[in-house]
Amino acid sequence: MVPGPVQAIGFVALVFVQAVALYAGYGVLERTIGPAIIEKLGNA
């Protein structure tokens, strides 16, 4: 069994890694899909 403080640090690290992954993923989507959506809305 892992001590409580070690579990807490592991949980915080996991949440941090997920946040970084989502931030990077949204950045990639914004760069790839964002301009196409803006262009499509501009032509509407």
Span 1-44, pLDDT tens digits: 889 999 999 999 999 999 999 999 888 888 888 888 877 777 76
Tell me the two tokens of residue 9.
């640090």
Residue (of 26, 5, 4, 24) closest to 16 by Cα position: 24
- pLDDT (tens digit, 9 = 90+) per residue, 22-34? 999 888 888 888 8
Which residues are CB-contacts of 10 (< 8 A; sequence separation ≥ 6)?
Answer: 2
pTM to 2 decimal places: 0.67
Lookup: tokens for 6: 């070690």
pLDDT for the residue 44:
61
DSSP-derived letter for residue 33 is T
